[in-house]
Structure 1
């Protein structure tokens, strides 16, 4: 490990050697410095006051403390700097340089800072550039930042997606990196992704508003004609960075569309349609604090949202655009509650629906589809469409099998998939492997028709269901939270996937949120969320596994919902 010793030219003129002798003998000690590793470094206040201007007032105050806390720094760093105060010399190595720099900066020692800069400048490598870039940005040290730029520009794709670097990067230096001529061969799409990652890092360091205001200037540093609609369509599905911030999203889509009239207009239209929507993740359950059924946003995955709407009664829930619906009974009559997630307004509409239990619902635009249930010991094959505005109910073709406890999912351009349940009114055990799809058929008298799908591998009661990677995925609804999937292709069969191995009764919900598959297992103690992440191999779902990501400790019996909200 390379190290260099630095020493002041006139070190002998400072009377520190006398006090160094006193310090060695423990005489006249009037200061104890407690370090990060709970060690104590002893010193004389007078010496530190003379050396370090930023702590001079604290060291010379009559109310000065005998014990001070330097808890960000370990004993070896504190001892090295204190020893410098007495001797005028300091040994700097690759291992301690950045830590010495930060302590020197905090103490206001220009000499130590310049020594550290001199040591670090010619020794910047791919291994340490992240740390040096971070401390340079934190301390606004333009010299160190500029020393990092050539290496960072040369390795743009490797370095500019690292969250640790982007957290500390100012807009000015991100512009410098984007404009630097060294990253030859770096595409405009790569630069766009780097800007988006930089915005996303603003959520971590709480300066998102400042970064968003600077976005218009930064995005002008790249050539928007070099960004294809096909790339943007796939990027937008991730729902991150630029996509999450209204100001940035609107400015970019308008600017990009103005300069990209030469692209295939079908691809442009597909992107513009996609960019006009965003995923909003919600949870609906019993709030332990307010002691009420509540609709809430999920800050663990969408920190920019702050939705909290009490719900007057419990029932079957679904969501469409900015409206959340609960269909349930108030007294002896059925009602539809509508809550606007943006202005928190709530309204209730009577519904001409006969009493029933354990049915399921799903939304499509302004319609709510109702399936099955049981009443007075009899399973119901019922299927109907409810107008969410008027409360009018239209009867549709009955389900192929009368049952209750199913789960339903509306898949755009395909139909509504209904799976699982029980065909015995006196049992909520999973007794059905059935899977069907309700599809639009303009030639049919009702306009709708049922299509049988391959039966699931296991019986399931109220499983979670989502559409992910062009497959219907179901999870839970059985004793061990197993998982399986079905591609929506002719003659396709269900495939067993890795489960979560959580035993016992759980309320299971499964959602596709910003191209991520999220599972929530909930009971009276709260809810545990998991994400289905790719391990290795090809992108088939057999190569995915569940990883825990957060816990909803304040919500009981909760479910996750996702809506695609139309943007202005």
Structure 2
């Protein structure tokens, strides 16, 4: 039905037939020059507004004028009262919400609010955030505000963004969980907002700039883009603020002195929109149940382990609908068919339906609401079978088997296809790759990688399939390459800093991360990330424990993200002493 919604509830059609025929009607609702015959008891049941009107009326009153509404909206609401359904469309939803709120028809208010939430977009979220100022709907206002915070980079480029009041924009910029990849985005949004009405708005530069976290920018950006801006130069309050921040950052960079002279707000890292979870693996010669959460905004790992959970390694993990699923694996003694679900809101593990097969060294990915588990080792043989799980029914179903037997492979999804690459077939490490189409339930061989890779990392990134690291049968690899589905070809990219196999891999904030693994000599806690724009790898903060055979996934959005990252108040003293130019904006 496109952007139109019909929302029925139980109601008798008999009363509606009587209304349409004029039978037993005892009141007329008049809106402008249009009259609607109704039954008082029916209308009063759904509208406290009309209940009060009818109570206060004398027995002789038959016609009731209802100002402030259009006849079209009154007709929709009366039809809802009698039929239990209402047609909500983008072109009528706001007017209908105002009318329903005025007449206190709660079900229609809720229906309209739900419709607006479902249709939140960068281009309309500011208007919907401001809309409840006219029509009270705290839930709609909160969700629109959350949308602005979570999608700020896109929202700041839309026309509606310019309609924010200075108080609204100040509150948004002040939020710890404002989702900006770089702090320069917040600063440039301020400039764009002021430019829409410079004569009136330039006076607000100081209060707005005080909410931008200048200490999170690079010194170069601060010196070239901020300190030389005309609005900053002409502000008696801004210039000292920016100069003091620049001087402190310069001192930290050149002499490694304490960063405590930076103001708390100027350098307080914002909360991340998404966190990367590193789950399980081998550590110290034994499987572990350790879970660490990586906060990219603070470059920090937080231990979020649940002590009662069973250790496992060589498993797969997937994030879906607010939960993390841990699939298969081994605890050394046995291979698992079991699947566990971690509810990130409650931080509690639950058992869900097991797979058809035990699968250690399994490859796991998500596509269209299904979790796919492919290949692996069942304790006797390397598998070519594959299956998928639907959370709504808590059931696994078999899909077509792969063309190769693969354990220790890796998989990802791109453009409605599942890709699996490399692995070990029981005899040799593989360089072969194949892809699966859910539409046809068929596997198709694609071009092989440049070399065999077992214990590989496969991930969709920058609209390509990246293959990273692994074991070629004689050594651990640092090399990386990507597959272009349009040309069916692989192309080498810059190698990792550290060779590794059996590591975690994920994409976070448009960076490809590799986590832990085995480097050929020892289990690692090392973490690095790759930027496709620069074709370069850089080190990130190490995990707190050494481990290989772990699995990683990215969880977002998290309404309780503060439970998975270090407190900003606790982090600040450490962060201030570690501020340097490399950690800020580079543009």
**TM-score, length basis structure 1:** 0.46
Point out the structure with max Rg over C-alpha. 1
Q: Considering fraction of residues, name the structure with more strand.
A: 1
**TM-score, length basis structure 2:** 0.45
